[in-house]
A = this chain, B = another copy of it.
């Protein structure tokens, strides 16, 4: 009987202790909840692009998903299968109809998409643009590469590769704004900061390998003392690489390319392309979701209701060389 009473008392004490502990724990959790940045899994944020499934979007989507994991919300990825603006508009209409917590859009045609982007905003759905902006739309922010600045970075890297001396060329797409900006940043920097260098030739590679190879071949013939070529997009870079191989110039001709598709990475590993500029696509995705979350949860300055977010984020470029190329292959 006395033993039983002892057990009884022990149990009561333990019980009281647990209740106390549990209550304290509850309290801590309570305090915590007010402060935390935490959503719930019912909130769905959608990424919309054109040309769904190409490698280029994978890192952006990874960043989007990583932020969703950190904030405890859900994501979906939707988009046009083709490079087709009408398909992208249809997809965006369908996404809006589901009233998601936010949409991150990359547009192939800012004017064509403007109306449907504004429709989302008017319906109270937060929208940010990434990679390619729709500046006239009501989207709250744009997160992407400053292409002029990317050209500046390419020029500095080129200068260091050729010991700040000699003739260099550019292979680009002269009709596209982002490529014009990359070329301009490159050209301005060589002209202003490297007096012993010269941009001798700027040619149209039309965004395809064969044409880029042909114009690179011409460039090499016209300027036998050419020390470097900057290709403002990936197909161009591979085309220049092929021309370099055909002329046995792998040692002497320094090539800088753009983006990190497999063909480019392989040529970096083989030493044909010296460097490529990786865009901050993970950062675009990660901070797009953070921005949309902040809009949805109104974690913004009240006074700036119309412009609650930074309008523009330059996600920057990273220079990829043989040294760090391995980490850029898809895992």
Listed in ascending order, the chain A residues whose CB lies under 8 Å from chain B are 4, 7-8, 11-12, 14-15, 18-19, 21-22, 25, 29, 32, 35-38, 59, 63, 66, 69-72, 143, 146, 149, 278, 280, 282-283, 286-287, 290, 299, 301-304, 306-307, 309-318, 324, 327-328
In the assembled complex, which residues on chain B have CB atoms less than 8 Å from the CB atom of A310?
A: 143, 280, 283, 287, 313-316
Q: Would A32 and B282 be within 8 Å (CB), given that A312-B313, A313-B313 are in contact?
A: no
Interchain nearest-CB distance for A300 vs B (Å): 8
Q: Are A301 and B4 in contact (CB under 8 A)?
A: no
For A18, A37, A286, A290, the residue with the greatest tally of chain B CB atoms inside 10 Å of its CB is A37
Residues on the B chain within 8 Å of A70, using CB: 35-37, 299
CA distance A278 to B307 in the complex (A): 11
| A31 CB to nearest B CB, Å | 9
Most buried by B among A14, A70, A301, A324: A301
A12 and B304 alpha carbons, distance in the complex (Å)? 57
For residue A316, which residues in chain B have a CB less than 8 angstroms away from its CB?
Answer: 307, 309-312
Selected from B15, B301, B327, the residue in CB contact (under 8 A) with A283 is: B301
Docked-complex contact B299 and A282, CB < 8 angstroms: no
**Judging by beta carbons under 8 Å apart, are A283 and B304 in contact?**
yes
Say whether B303 contacts A324, CB under 8 Å.
Answer: yes
Does A32 contact B312, Cβ atoms closer than 8 Å?
no
- List of B residues within 8 angstroms of A22 by Cβ: 18, 21-22, 25
Closest Cβ of chain B: how far from A130's Cβ, in Å?
11
Measured CA separation A119–B37 after assembly (Å): 32
Having A302-B327, A304-B318, A307-B316, one finds 15 other A-B pairs with CB under 8 Å, namely: A14-B15, A22-B25, A32-B72, A35-B72, A37-B38, A282-B303, A283-B301, A283-B304, A283-B309, A286-B301, A290-B290, A303-B327, A311-B314, A311-B315, A311-B316
**Which residues of chain B are within 8 angstroms of A311 by Cβ–Cβ distance?**
149, 314-316
Q: Can you give 21 A-B contacts (C-beta < 8 A)?
A: A14-B15, A15-B18, A18-B22, A21-B22, A32-B38, A35-B70, A35-B71, A35-B72, A36-B36, A36-B37, A37-B71, A59-B301, A283-B304, A302-B327, A307-B316, A310-B314, A310-B316, A312-B313, A312-B314, A312-B316, A314-B314
Q: Which partner residue on chain B sits nearest A146 by CB separation?
A: B312
Name the residue on B nearest A34 (C-beta): B69
Whole-angstrom distance from the CB of A315 to the nearest CB of chain B?
Answer: 5
Least CB distance from A59 to B in Å reads 8
Within the assembled complex, what's the spacing in Å between the Cα atoms of A202 and B72? 53
Q: Are B4 and A69 in contact (CB under 8 A)?
A: no
* Residues in chain B near residue A29, CB distance under 8 A: 29
For the complex, give the distance between the alpha carbons of A14 and B327 in Å: 54
Contacting residues, chain B, for A299 (C-beta < 8 A): 66, 70
What is the bound-complex CA distance between A66 and B302, given in angstroms?
12
Contacts of A313 in B (CB 8 A): 310, 312-314
